[in-house]
Chains A and B, each alone.
Chain A
Amino acid sequence: MIKIQFGIILGLITIVLFSECRKRDSLPLQDNFVAFESAAQGISSSESSITVKLNLLNTTSTDLPLLINVTELGLTYSAQYSTTPAAVAGKISLIVPAGSNKVSFTLNKIPNAIFDGNEKLIFDILSAGSSVSIGVTKQFILNFAELVSTTSTATINGGGANFGNKVFVDISTTRQNAILRTNWDLSFYTGTDDFRVKLNSSMNMMAKQLNKIDLNSVSSADTIGFTNEVAFSPFAPTAISLPYIDYPNGDLTRTAIAAISTTASDNRVYIVNRGSVIGTSGASRGWKKIRIIRNGSNGYTIQYADIAATTFTSTDIPKDENSFYKDFSFENGITTIEPTKKKWDFAWTYFANTTNFGTGEVPYMFQDVVLLNRNVQAAKVLVSSKPFVDFAEADLNTQTFLSTQNAIATDWRSGGGPGTAPSVRTDRYYIIRDTDNNYYKLRFTALTQNNERGYPSYEAILIKRG
């Protein structure tokens, strides 16, 4: 009897001592897919080349071969077009390098070749390496005329969880232009009606006017006491900082930098906080001092230097009406960031916004902000009043269109909270009147790609051609 008891006891103790915890670590990786970024695009007569992009769902761990078949409709390789890498016997071989999740090839028009606008090229993903399946958009049609897409879908390349890019999207051509948001600092208004300068609103930048007009007389002593005030705070923002940002609705009369006066002596020096680098370190990009005046050729002249410098650099910035703004970088001078006026409808970006934490409006950086171009309007429709699929041209005249740049902003997604992740709002969509007066119904279909922020997706369907 004693032996049995000991047996039970020893057995139980053995179970307790040697039982292992349930582990969770060995699951397969997600099935990977490859697809074209869009299903169709047009190349206009003024463009000489176009980049065709393919995306993977996940980064590949090994070099991944892809074979693309090219079908010519009214075109001949070498005579009218070529590709990089070159097509061999009507097929393009691509490699997605290990560690990457995208690949592209370029199509070039042969100089002086003649097109009638009805030519097409059809690209099909023929085969892909064994570790990847071919996804939804396995075919891409390139029209040799500018196209007004009837359906436009894309995943916006926002640069991932650090929101590295500002992405300009042209719905009617299904094109996106992703630009690193540290590539510029200031944007100069090109309209004839005013002389205005905007801060890069995709950065946590601020600018404060000093009561000085001589740039060289400004030193780091002039920033003392302002380092906390002229800066975004994610935790305790205050209304004191509000005048140091451009008002988020895009009203040019409410910019941090006052209108540039014809009287040079009225144009004072500003200290500019350039915000922090992209990424999680939060490291400061430092400060600059600037002074902007009008020049004799109806443009701007910017004088700029590091805070402690005793000399400065001057750059002339002409007004160029192809774009609404002429962009400028302290490192690279004049630089092209914003596409020309008709080449974008909305931009997705990290954004210097305002919010209310319960103590009035304060500056606060927002993720996933959708901004409208100056010549684009948007109206919000709730699914409860009209389902997305049912919305037609006849419904347009009952909509109220807004033209402020933040008409959509973050309305398209919910911010989440304790226990709930941020997500796309599926109860609403938007009607966009684009730069060519085309009307699209636009809905956002994802906030993330594979749970990673910074890769939202949209779907737009043409309602009325402009």
Chain B
Amino acid sequence: MLKIITPFLLLISSNLIAQNDIPEQKKLEEVVITGQYKPQSIKNSVHQIRVITKDRIIKQGAINLQTVLSNELNIRFTQDAATGGSDITMMGMKGQNVKILIDGLPMVGRQGTSNEININQIDINTIERIEIVEGPMAVIYGADALAGVINIITKKNKSDKLSVYARLQEETVGKEYGITNGIHNQSIGLDWRKKNWEIGGNIAHNFFGGWKDTAIERELVWHKKDQIMSSGYIGYRKNKFSARYRIDGLDEIITNPANFNVFPNQISGDYYAGDQQYITNRQMHQLQSSYNFSNALNAQLQSSFTDYSRQVYSTILSKQTGKESLDMGTGKQTLIKFTGFTFRGMVNYKLSKIISLQPGVDINLDRGEGERLNAGKNKVDDYAFFLTSEITPTSKLNIRPGIRFIKNSIYNAPPLVTSLNAKYSFTNKLDFRVSYARGFRSPSLRELYFNFFDANHQIIGNPNLKAETSHSFTSSLNWNKTTAKQMEISFVLNGFYNNVKNLIDYAIDAADPNIYMLANVTDSKTAGTSFSSSAKYKRWNITLGGAYTGFYNDFYGTDKSLPTLQWSPEINSNIGYSISKIGLDLNLFYKLNGKRPYYATNSNQEIVQATQQSYQLADFTINKKLCKYISLNTGVRNIFDVNRLTSNYTAGGIHTANNGRSIATGRGYFVGININLEKK
């Protein structure tokens, strides 16, 4: 039996290992691993999982994850003008509720582990597929996934061979393109495997020259960004044992140039410009291994260690001499460091034909220090034990109850978290899934230990924060059919409802009105429904989906006569036409983010209805295989030329209101070349 495992392992991520009862697979893409006991076909998974494949990423010519995910239902992005990063919204919830995993292990970002990961700091060239699960998944993956989990599965060679790949891509940023502006990306990598060993690595350089648009002189509307991302892995497997080490490195420099002062300095007579760079370094090490004791018993270990730092580096440029010098002003040179350690150990045990058990431990240790945090090393240690069980009384019914016990060194975590997933197959074409899960978002290191004092602002974290908790309900109905004429049709209907308690937000310290502190202040809700469908027939591949999402109205707390939820529609569609004979693929990716109503207060203290306008994102791409090893791609990005969104209302205040949300940099064009060499 064990002999069967080996080939199957080739097509799965290492973090979960196959048992001997391997499902019959028609297509590799259909296999998912997030939250599974073993790699499963999407159809058999008890969770409703959306999969974005490498093939889809290549077809879109995407150079970052944002481009890909922007096209998905229930996911939206805005650009953070200050940091040059991008903020994700998923299922109507902010990015801190979206858990980003690499091969099942959590990432560390600017706010500490797993909170507000900048998704564009992940190298798209190393991705095999992306699995998106809506709902908390807290029993297995712990905190911070109130909206859902995005699990990024990295590439692996699927059979004994050497493959070397390289990619070059050039893009305009709106109308801007040149040596120092536009996008210039290069990457090269290889994967090799033979018998028991696999080894590989990749290095990528992504250059984004910033977006000038309406800015004058030296200023940019979007900051300039220069990324070097690298990865390497080594794996060994023999008989019942497998182990794999992987390292991912990020070195990102975001540059924010300023204009020269309008008037000369009175002392020197020179004109100065104060520039800033935000420098992020991250190294993530993972070690994953598994051992099969018997057909009914296997064990898996997953661990990761991440070192993260973000430096703010300020310089002063002299107009007269061109000399760049260090800015020694207060708060101009800062450094923040986080480290995160995760260990997860699980055992899969098949008790009988009907019942399987998966007990496990999950340990997460976070450390943080630096600017705007309490002095010294701040720690959060989290220990959890979880147990899930899969019950299959009949082949049609699959029930998965789960429970997690948590002990946290700092904050008041819910002592136990439960979930219940069930799947029922009416026929082999029609499946129904329903889930209830308790989710929680732990306060981030920053929320616990924030410390920012200047002449006018005093903001502090709160070590007494409780976790935000949620009750999350999802359900889905899937129908699919393959006809004799090789036509494949599928249809999915989804619904979700989230009720979040103890939302963490800023509040005034009861003891001192000069101090703003983080506190568990309010409750929130989101709900939504969506459908997606796809049809494949001969050369055509068409998907069509729609969603209707309810965003929580922040003013509901102060005025109960207002609606709790404010609804916004979405539509997405991909149309693909492929002529495999000549290796030509044409694709249109389309997404409509409908207009989004919200409430705000006007200058007369009245709560008024406002709207954020709708916008459409669309890319048209052409892929052409030149020969066996080389393919070209080209296309139009953002056909509808979206840049900023205006709202019909802007609130007053001390700091100048921003002139709308930044979404994209306008219509652009790209051309790229992919090289894939393979040797058996």
A residues whose Cβ falls under 8 Å from a Cβ of B? 5, 8-9, 12-13, 15-17, 19, 21-22, 24-25, 27-31, 33-35, 55-58, 133, 135-137, 153-155, 160-163, 204, 227-228, 231-236, 276, 279-282, 284, 350, 355-360, 364-365, 367, 414-421, 424, 426, 445-446, 449-452, 457, 459
Known: A28-B325, A451-B329. A232 touches B514 (CB 8 A): yes
Known: A281-B453, A365-B456, A452-B330. A135 touches B325 (CB 8 A): no
Query: With the chains together, A58 CA to B164 CA distance in Å?
Result: 54
Among the listed B232, B279, B332, B656, which residue makes an inter-chain contact with A420, where contact means beta carbons less than 8 Å apart?
A: B656
Is B21 at the interface (CB under 8 A from chain A)? no
9 residue pairs from A and B, CB less than 8 Å apart: A16-B247, A22-B251, A31-B268, A228-B513, A233-B508, A235-B508, A236-B508, A424-B262, A446-B265
The answer to whether A446 touches B266 (Cβ under 8 A) is yes
Among the listed A19, A56, A57, A446, which residue makes an inter-chain contact with B230, where contact means beta carbons less than 8 Å apart?
A: A19
Among the listed A24, A281, A357, A446, which residue makes an inter-chain contact with B279, where contact means beta carbons less than 8 Å apart?
A: A24
The answer to whether A57 touches B265 (Cβ under 8 A) is yes
Identify the interface centre among B81, B199, B265: most chain A CB within 10 Å of its CB: B265
The answer to whether B279 touches A22 (Cβ under 8 A) is yes
Ranked 10 nearest A-B pairs via Cβ: A419-B81, A445-B263, A417-B655, A30-B325, A33-B268, A136-B269, A417-B656, A16-B232, A280-B453, A233-B513
Query: With the chains together, A153 CA to B332 CA distance in Å?
Result: 28
Given contacts A12-B189, A19-B249, A33-B267, 15 further A-B contacts (CB under 8 A): A5-B192, A13-B201, A15-B230, A27-B324, A28-B323, A30-B326, A133-B268, A355-B654, A356-B603, A357-B654, A360-B605, A364-B654, A446-B266, A451-B274, A451-B327
Q: Could you mark each residue 504-529 of chain B with 1 if its beta carbon is under 8 Å from any beta carbon of chain A, else 0?
A: 00101010111110000000000000
Query: With the chains together, A356 CA to B247 CA distance in Å?
Result: 52
The answer to whether A416 touches B268 (Cβ under 8 A) is no
Query: With the chains together, A356 CA to B603 CA distance in Å?
Result: 7
Chain A residue at minimal CB-CB distance from B263: A445
B residues whose Cβ falls under 8 Å from a Cβ of A? 81-82, 162, 164, 189-190, 192, 199-201, 203, 228, 230-232, 234, 247, 249, 251, 253, 258, 261-270, 272, 274, 277, 279, 281, 311, 313-316, 318, 321, 323-330, 332, 453-458, 506, 508, 510, 512-516, 600-605, 651-658
Among the listed B232, B326, B655, B657, which residue makes an inter-chain contact with A17, where contact means beta carbons less than 8 Å apart?
A: B232
Chain A residue at minimal CB-CB distance from B510: A228
Chain B residue at minimal CB-CB distance from A10: B199
Identify the interface centre among A153, A160, A426, A445: most chain B CB within 10 Å of its CB: A445
Query: With the chains together, A137 CA to B601 CA distance in Å?
Result: 51
Query: With the chains together, A311 CA to B224 CA distance in Å?
Result: 65
Known: A451-B316, A451-B327, A452-B330. A445 touches B655 (CB 8 A): no
Report B76 CB to chain A, min CB distance, Å: 18
The answer to whether B455 touches A5 (Cβ under 8 A) is no
> Within 8 Å CB of B454, what residues of A?
161, 280
Report B212 CB to chain A, min CB distance, Å: 15
Report B354 CB to chain A, min CB distance, Å: 46
Chain A residue at minimal CB-CB distance from B192: A9
Query: With the chains together, A358 CA to B230 CA distance in Å?
Result: 48
> Within 8 Å CB of A459, what residues of B?
263
> Within 8 Å CB of B164, what residues of A?
8
> Within 8 Å CB of A449, what residues of B?
265, 267
The answer to whether A161 touches B330 (Cβ under 8 A) is yes
Report B272 CB to chain A, min CB distance, Å: 7
Among the listed A12, A31, A281, A360, which residue makes an inter-chain contact with B321, where contact means beta carbons less than 8 Å apart?
A: A31
Report A112 CB to chain B, min CB distance, Å: 38
> Within 8 Å CB of B311, what residues of A?
24
The answer to whether B508 touches A450 (Cβ under 8 A) is no
Known: A233-B514, A419-B81. A31 touches B318 (CB 8 A): yes
The answer to whether B330 touches A231 (Cβ under 8 A) is no
The answer to whether A155 touches B231 (Cβ under 8 A) is no
Query: With the chains together, A223 CA to B478 CA distance in Å?
Result: 66
The answer to whether A56 touches B267 (Cβ under 8 A) is yes
The answer to whether B455 touches A358 (Cβ under 8 A) is no
Chain B residue at minimal CB-CB distance from A449: B265
> Within 8 Å CB of B656, what residues of A?
414-417, 420
> Within 8 Å CB of A235, what residues of B?
506, 508, 513, 516
Report A62 CB to chain B, min CB distance, Å: 15
> Within 8 Å CB of A228, what residues of B?
508, 510, 513
Report B282 CB to chain A, min CB distance, Å: 9
Chain A residue at minimal CB-CB distance from B335: A25
The answer to whether B652 touches A357 (Cβ under 8 A) is yes
The answer to whether B655 touches A136 (Cβ under 8 A) is no
Chain B residue at minimal CB-CB distance from A455: B266
Known: A136-B267, A282-B514, A445-B263. A16 touches B453 (CB 8 A): no
The answer to whether B267 touches A24 (Cβ under 8 A) is no
Report B227 CB to chain A, min CB distance, Å: 11
Query: With the chains together, A32 CA to B214 CA distance in Å?
Result: 34
